[in-house]
């Protein structure tokens, strides 16, 4: 207190000068840049999802049709030839178009859909990528996306669906099982998050939240739990080896 009073007296008499310096933002920019560059695969998926949203939003339908896992053909020629109006995933796969098993996850319908999924993808995906690397993370994403997309096509054979939410549910399942087997600080989430997401899943099946790809959400959750088991067991095994050697 005495020092503060003396400084105030000196300032009042003009013997103490205050210097105002401009804050340097280079450090903050470097921190943000490092944050993004240290999670390149998560950032890459976010960018592809934004691109997919733009393709849908601005109706680049020719490109969008190349990314869908199934199509509906109601053209006059198909009617004349008495062809099925549904072009199934099997037909595309027969022609080598395997990318369609994955690409629906990048198609988003509206800003809310995109924002919700990207926030969860960034929050969950970067933790897995930071812990186990980009290859492990993208392997989990591809595994969950392929299975959830296939099950959704079986459930709704005439629907145009897309979005990263099936993968998001898969990552949540991954986190839940991984934490049960070998708790890691990076994977521990508040219980309220699981409750909220499960509630959204239930409301989707009850029809309270219409237009949801419920089968993709549920199967994504299940397969995310499944793939977490070997990952968590291996992680616990190697952690115990490291602990014994130290």
Q: Which tokens hold the place of 85?
A: 């109006």
List the beta bridge partners of residue 71.
Answer: 87
Alpha carbon distance 43, 115 (integer Å): 14
Cβ–Cβ < 8 Å for 63, 142: no
The active-site residue out of 145, 148, 165, 235 is 165
Residue 95 among the catalytic residues: no
97 close to 109: Cβ distance less than 8 angstroms: no
Coil vs helix vs strand at 146 = helix
Residue 56 in contact with residue 107, Cβ under 8 Å?
Answer: yes
Q: Which residues pair with 87 in a beta bridge?
A: 71
97: helix, strand or coil: coil
Own/partner contacts of 16-25, CB < 8 Å, gap of 24 or more, are none
Q: Round to whole Å and give the CA distance between 87 and 97.
A: 13
Length of the chain: 246
Tell me the DSSP string of 27-43. Answer: HHHHHHHHHHHTSHHHH
Whether 217 is catalytic: yes
Structure tokens belonging to residue 148: 């959830």
d(CA 86, CA 240): 52
Catalytic residue among 39, 108, 113, 217: 217
Integer angstrom CA distances of residue 165 from 28, 113, 143:
31, 9, 14
Catalytic positions are 165, 217
């Amino acid at each position: 207190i005495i020092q503060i009073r003396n400084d105030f007296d000196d300032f009042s008499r003009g013997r103490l000068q205050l210097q105002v310096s401009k804050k340097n933002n280079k450090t903050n920019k470097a921190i943000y840049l490092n944050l993004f560059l240290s999670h390149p695969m998560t950032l890459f998926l976010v960018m592809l999802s934004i691109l997919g949203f733009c393709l849908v939003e601005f109706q680049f339908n020719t490109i969008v049709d190349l990314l869908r896992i199934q199509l509906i053909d109601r053209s006059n020629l198909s009617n004349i030839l008495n062809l099925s109006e549904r072009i199934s995933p099997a037909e595309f796969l027969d022609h080598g178009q395997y990318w369609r098993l994955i690409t629906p996850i990048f198609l988003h319908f509206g800003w809310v859909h995109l924002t919700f999924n990207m926030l969860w993808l960034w929050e969950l995906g970067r933790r897995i990528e930071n812990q186990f690397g980009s290859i492990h993370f993208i392997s989990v994403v591809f595994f969950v996306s392929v299975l959830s997309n296939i099950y959704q096509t079986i459930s709704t054979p005439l629907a145009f669906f897309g979005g990263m939410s099936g993968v998001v549910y898969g990552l949540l399942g991954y986190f839940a099982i991984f934490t049960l087997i070998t708790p890691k600080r990076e994977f521990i989430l508040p219980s309220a998050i699981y409750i909220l997401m499960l509630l959204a899943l239930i409301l989707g099946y009850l029809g309270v939240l219409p237009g949801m790809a419920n089968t993709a959400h549920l199967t994504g959750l299940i397969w995310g739990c499944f793939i977490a088991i070997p990952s968590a067991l291996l992680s616990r095994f190697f952690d115990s080896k490291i602990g014994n050697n130290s």
